[in-house]
Every structure is written in structure tokens, then in C-alpha cells.
Chains A and B, each alone.
Chain A
Amino acid sequence: MSLRLGAMLPEVFRHLFKRPATVLYPFEKNTVPARLRGRPVMDPDKCIGCRMCERDCPAEAIEVTQESETRTDDGKVKRRFSMVVYVDRCAHCGQCEEICPAKPDKAIKLNEFFEEAAFDRGALKIVYK
């Protein structure tokens, strides 16, 4: 291959007339992908309290607590659980959602929220009850 000075120049000139490849975040935002693993959100109405998410979370970001135990008229025990998620520790791996056995809908899911920065660490301790 022979050397060619300025091999890049045509490309450089063409870019004078192109739109910038970057967006002006945070004023402009790209759409997030449908599969994004954002913030874990738990629904206490669906949780059966198996604690599989707590056991599997690699970042130890989940704490499940039993809130109440009631007996229905037909003698069934109904328990309600609350959850604390420390999103500053969360690694967004999605293992909690994957392992959750609640049916027909999972009790913990990762949503599309990704802007987790905060000035106060306390704001990153999220309680679902």
C-alpha cells in the first residue's frame, strides 16, 4: 500500500456539513432501550416473601421485612412484606427480577429510571411498603 498524505481530509471536510454525533445531555436525552435494567421497584401486593431476591442480590442491596400477618375468614394466613432497596449499592444486574417466583406477575421489576445520582445518600434508600 502506498502512503497518501491527507487521506483523511475528504472525510474531515464532509463532516463540516454533518450534524454533531453527540446530544446535549441533560437538555436532550436519548430514548432508553426497552430492556434497560434501571431501578428495582417492588410491589408489596404481589410479594410472597420468599426472600429469594434478598439471598441472590450480589450487592446486598435488598432487605425484606414481614409487616403483618392476618388470618382470613377461611383460615388462610396472609402475610404482607415490605422492602428496602439501597439503590446506591444496586448493581442493576436484574437477578432479583429474574429469580422472583411471584405469579402471575413478578413482585420486583427493574424500571426505566437510570439517573440515580443524588446529593443525599438517604435519598437512595427506597422503601416499598
Chain B
Amino acid sequence: MSETFVLPVGPQHPALKEPTSFRFKVDGEYIVDADLRLGYNHRGMEKGCEARTYVQDIYLLERVCGICSNAHMTCFAQGVERLMGIEPPPRGVFIRCLMGELERIHSHLLWLGVAGHEIGFDTFFMYTWRDREVVMDLLEMVSGNRVNYGMQTFGGVRRDLDGMQIKTLLEGIAALKARTPYYLNLGATEPTMVARIAGVGKLPREKAIELTAAGPTTRASGVDFDVRKDDPYAGFGDLIPFTIVTDNGCDVLARVVVRAKEMMASYDIMEFILRNLPAGEVRTKAPRKVPEGETVSRVEAQRGELIHYIRANGTDKPDRVKVRAPTLANWPSTLYMLRGAYLADIPIIMAAIDPCLSCTDRMAVISDVRGGEKVWDWETLRQYGIEFHRRRGIRP
């Protein structure tokens, strides 16, 4: 006869460096059911945006996340541009796109390393992170800094590329292009690695659609959804060619393969951009005040579809900014994948969606549907806590 019990994991736990809390109903080593609690991380950024001007907000939103900073910046910039009724010049569009792809490479290499680390393959982690320095150096050369590139602005990009930089970029991309197949090969043929990731974290195609998975997670389940194709921005669609990468494996192995192949696709995009860079300005002048209106801006961040909602009221400050990060879209499918898995696979299944809590988490306010508001002072709250635990047999 099987017996289950509930195993609480988190909010602080070794599987992820950010706070999130799980309740696993386990039967021995098997996870029978999984539940998630969000709301441990509150930074007040959306509210903060309302108190600042658009120019300040773009830097604030860049700092929503250290890994996809450029995606947030691009998403906000293009949304506000739409409201302003301006468009960046072609050279600006190309460099905007280039930054997005460079960021995708650094993020995917980082993710590959983390995936290796989560399954105890630290050699893999060290190699990928060493090679990631190549793209970090390129990002640093173009933007000045390793993290938070500050490249996007309303009406284009803030820095241009010169001939020397284009040459260095092409060399760096060629080096990475030669290196990436090695990781793809290793991920798919190294038996110790394959044993840990093949068949783990299954997410069938119809489930991926039903649970609204995003980014490489959904593409590894055979769904060909990518904002770059479905709602083209930054030159995709007409100016810059792009091939979508999918895999039908539906497991963690497929997610490794999709990310590695996506990097190869990104190299092609970047080479095209650098070889066909239009001449001219990189930005147009943008007004400081934004006319009344609202818009939804979408970008394919490295983790999936990123959405910004912006409502303008005619002043130089937004009325409302809402950020929907790809990780939020991926939680329901993660819970699905965790059900029926082994306890030891929790870290890699979670890591496989490339979660980012700093983007995703909001404060949770629970309103009492029975009505009525209660104000408790500290002492009452403390007594309630002591009583609560005493009833469960725990002595204070």
C-alpha cells in the first residue's frame, strides 16, 4: 500500500537561487502532485515606473532582470515608440536586433552551463561559461558594460558600430559558431548527460499549448511559436531573415537541443545584420511627452514571450506599466512536468524552463471573499501565530 506525504520545498532551496515555494506530494521517490506558491519577491518596479519619467523608466525596466535586460528595454522602447508614433531608422533597427541576438547567445550559454551544473556535470558548466566570455566581451565592446547594456532608447539605439567593431563581432561570432556544435553533440551523445535528461520532464505538444508554455520550452514540444515570427519586431519579418527552431522530443534533452540550435540560428541572423548593415543614423529624436493611449508590446526574450503593457496619459510619465515575464507563462507546464517525476529531477526540470523569479514575481494580496477587513496589531498577530502552531502540536 502506498503512502504519500507532503514535502515543502522553498522559498529558499538549493534548486534555484531565487525564492519560490513548492508543495510536493510524494510517494517515496515519486512526485504525485506539485503545487506552487509565488509572491515572495516584491520590488515595486511597476509602481515605480508611474512615479518616473519615460526616460528614467527605460533604465529602471532594464534592471528588472540582469540576464534579459536588453529584452525588457527593447520591449518598453518599442511600445513607447508606437505610442509616440515614431520609428527608428533602419540602422538603429538592425543594431537593436543584433543586441537581442547577442543577449540570446549569452543567456543560452549561461543556461547550458546551469543545466550541466544541476545534473552534476560541472566540467560542462565550466566550458560553456568560459566560451560565454567571448560573447560577453563582444557585448562589452559594443555597449561598454557586461550587464545592463543600456543600448535601447526611444527612437533607436544609443551607440553606433564602427568598422573595427563589426570585424571583431564577425570574428567572435565565427569562433562561437565553431564551438556550439560541440555542445550540441555533447548534450545529445554523452551517455552520462543523456541518462539524466532524456525522457525527463515530458511535456506533450497538446499540453504545451493548453498550458501556454513559452519560448524554448514550447518549441521543444514541437510548437512553432516565436514572437519573432508571429508578431515580428526589430526588423524580423521583412528586413532580417529568420528560421524558427523546434524539436519534437518534448523532454529536457529536447530543450537543450532547441537552445543549442537556436544559437546557431542567431549566429546566422547576426552575420546577416553585420554584412548588410544599412548606412545612416541610429536614432531619431523622440518627444518627452507621450500622447494618450495604450499598447501591448511583445518581444521574444531568450526565455520566451515577454509582454509589456503601457498606458500613457499625455504627460511625460506613464499611467500604468505591466510586465508579463516568460517564466510566469511557463510555471503551469513546469508543475505538469514535475508530476510523476523523481524527486532528484526537480532541479533540472525547473532549470529547463530557465526560470527567472526577479522578472516574474509580484507581491500577492489575498482579499477575503467573505468580506470585512481586519487590522491586527503586532501582539495579536504574534499570539495568533503561537496559537496556530500550538494547535498543530508545535510548542513555541
Contacts and interface: CB of A to CB of B under 8 A. Distances in A.
Contacts of A7: 185-186, 189-190
A106 interface: no
B145 A92 contact: yes
A37 B145 contact: yes
A11 B186 CA distance: 11
Interface string B118-153: 000001100100100100000011111100101000
Contacts of A4: 189-191
Interface stretch (B51-59, B88-96, B266-274): B51-59
B117 to A, nearest CB: 15
Nearest to A12: B123
Interface in A56-76: 56-58
Contact of B55 (A11, A33, A91, A95): A95
Interface string A1-42: 111110110011000000001000000000001011100000
Nearest to A6: B190
B60 interface: yes
Interface residues of B, number: 33
Contacts of B53: 55-56
A35 B189 contact: no
Interface of B: 52-53, 55-57, 59-60, 62-63, 123-124, 127, 130, 133, 140-145, 148, 150, 158-159, 182, 185-186, 188-192, 194
B59 A93 contact: yes
Contact of B141 (A21, A33, A93, A94): A33
30 contacts: A1-B189, A3-B189, A3-B194, A4-B189, A4-B191, A5-B190, A5-B191, A5-B192, A8-B124, A8-B190, A12-B123, A21-B133, A33-B140, A35-B141, A35-B144, A37-B145, A55-B53, A56-B55, A56-B56, A57-B56, A58-B52, A58-B56, A58-B57, A58-B59, A92-B148, A93-B148, A93-B150, A94-B144, A95-B56, A95-B59
A37 B59 contact: no
A29 B194 CA distance: 39
B59 A91 contact: yes
A42 to B, nearest CB: 19
A19 B364 CA distance: 50
A8 B121 CA distance: 11
A35 B142 CA distance: 8
A105 interface: no
Given A36-B145, A37-B144, A94 B150 contact: yes
A86 B124 CA distance: 41
A57 B56 CA distance: 7
- Which 10 pairs from chain A and chain B are nearest by CB? A35-B144, A58-B56, A58-B59, A93-B59, A3-B191, A21-B130, A37-B144, A7-B190, A33-B140, A36-B144
Contact of B60 (A11, A58, A92, A98): A58
Contacts of A2: 189
B179 to A, nearest CB: 11
Interface in A74-99: 91-95, 98
A91 B149 CA distance: 11
Nearest to B133: A21
Nearest to A33: B140
Contacts of A91: 59, 63, 148
A35 B190 CA distance: 41
Given A3-B190, A36-B140, A58-B57, 15 more contacts: A2-B189, A4-B191, A5-B190, A7-B185, A7-B190, A21-B130, A21-B133, A33-B141, A56-B53, A58-B55, A58-B59, A91-B148, A92-B148, A93-B148, A94-B144
A28 to B, nearest CB: 15
A93 B143 CA distance: 10
A87 to B, nearest CB: 15
Contacts of B60: 58
Nearest to B140: A33
A106 B130 CA distance: 38
Contacts of B130: 21
A33 B144 contact: yes
A95 to B, nearest CB: 7
Nearest to B62: A93
A8 B185 CA distance: 10
Contacts of B124: 8
Contacts of A11: 127, 182
A17 to B, nearest CB: 15
Given A8-B123, A56-B55, A56-B56, A35 B188 contact: no
A37 B55 CA distance: 18
